[in-house]
Amino acid sequence: MTAIRNLCASPLAWLPPALAFCWVLLLTQTANYGNAAYTAPLLVAGVLVGGFALRTLTKDHTRTTAFLLIFAIFFLSLNFRVRPLGEVGLDWQNGTKFAAWTAIVAFALLRWRQIVYLFREPVVLFALAYAGVAFVSALWSEVMLYSAASAFGLFAYLALACLAVVDLGEERALRVMLWTLFAYIACSILTLFAAPDIAWLPPSVEETAWRFRGLAGHPNVLGQQVGIFIVLVIISFRRQLISKSAFAALLLFGVLVLLAAQSRTALIAVGAAGAVVFFRKSPLGPIVVFLAALALAILLLIIAVGGGELIKEFLGSFSRTGLSDEVFTLTGRTEIWGVALERLLERPLFGWGFNGTEDLIARSVRANFTGTAINTHNMFLQSLLSLGIVGSIPGFAMLAILLGRYLFNPDPARDLVVAYLILNGLGEAELFATPVLLTLVFFWVVAREGDKISDVPARHVGSMAFPAAHS
């Protein structure tokens, strides 16, 4: 009897009957809710079961963090629909993403004592400050809720990155990210046989090539994800987490998928990132620089002697339409950049609101524009348009510090991720737009910087203390 009285005294004991009463009341009042009203208890039950499961998992911090990291990398990267331009309403996919972000932030708040030391690192603080400015910018955004939700995703991925550094350590985190991403890409390949309509993106407008998109929703998104996979493969090999044969097989696997996606931005970014990181101290470095300068000189010489048409014909062979204009305009990006600069001048200090510029860009380009006007396709310009010059300071300062460390305090793992981010960011908006896989991996590198602080005596994982990691 005492146990029953104690149970009834708990607020949780009254939750099931209260939900049942509300459900019955809903059904008796109106029939306009349709099937949603009848399935609501199942949804609530699922949320409660998930909540209790997470609460149980929190007793083992390592498993919880690994589970959240796997879920974020695999399930939050899935995309089964092409969202209409300007459509930022809630659907089941972004609803799932927001629910996962909420769970991550909640778990991180429970663990704040274990991760707070990471924020003594300026780079981590600047990342947090940028997320804060992005969240506040929802107040003047044309799509307030969408901007706030996108900024909340920055907080979530920064929190998850900090948890991964503290709970998993570098090697275990790398293994989780690498093999989860491998499983995701492998499942994308399976769609070639199970669901070819999902696997391939049909040619658009003047294009003639079918492009592989797998489970990412768009070939460029898949290309970016595969680029991250290749980066993680290289880092894991250098950390001796995989053998030479596994490195060769995984690298070939990634390159072949990248070629099938025909994502030129990701292909160039991952290749150039590897070159600038690994040739900087190599004896081959000066040779590579000389060959690049020689190629540029030959190109200028051909232009000087009137070979412009020959160059156009040559560049046209690299386009998906066969036209050199696609290369010269970077698939319409240059027009979007011009429009974005015009709009930036209208609100130069604090911009139009974080990730809330999609409809703004769409209604600013010409009516017959055939490119994708979902964002500026340049992460620096995207940040300026969204948060303005003042609001972008924390994000740009964060990148400036990391670039300085590339020059004066080399770290191949960090520098490879940062180089890939920046080079990819010249043609895409990631980091300063909707939080995606690249955002999470970059924030992991940022949090890893905080773990290098030498004056922190220990960090706690569960009930055990471990010396602070250094690299």
3-state SS of 357-418 is CHHHHHCCCCCCCCCCCCCCCCHHHHHHHHHHHHHCHHHHHHHHHHHHHHHHCCCHHHHHHH
**How far is CA 330 from each of CA 33, 262, 320, 347, 438, rounded to the nearest angstrom?**
48, 14, 11, 26, 22
Task: Provide the pLDDT for residue 471.
Answer: 39
Task: Provide the pLDDT for residue 350.
Answer: 94
Task: Provide the pLDDT for residue 468.
Answer: 43
Three-class SS state of 459: strand
Distance CA 152, CA 98 (A): 8
Task: Provide the pLDDT for residue 457.
Answer: 45
Reported as a single tens digit per residue, the pLDDT across 112-151 is 999 999 999 999 999 999 999 999 999 999 888 889 999 9
Token readout for 451 is 């773990």
Q: Within the chain, which residues score under 70 in pLDDT?
A: 1-59, 82-90, 204-208, 281-282, 284-332, 366-373, 454-471
Three-class SS state of 140: helix
CA quadruple 461, 465, 470, 471: dihedral, nearest 10: -50
Q: What share of the chain is helix, strand, coil (3-state, %, to 5)?
A: 70, 5, 25
Task: Provide the pLDDT for residue 358.
Answer: 83
Strand partners, 465: 460
Q: In 84-218, where does DSSP find H-type helix?
A: 92-110, 112-115, 122-136, 144-163, 169-194, 196-199
Task: Provide the pLDDT for residue 370.
Answer: 58
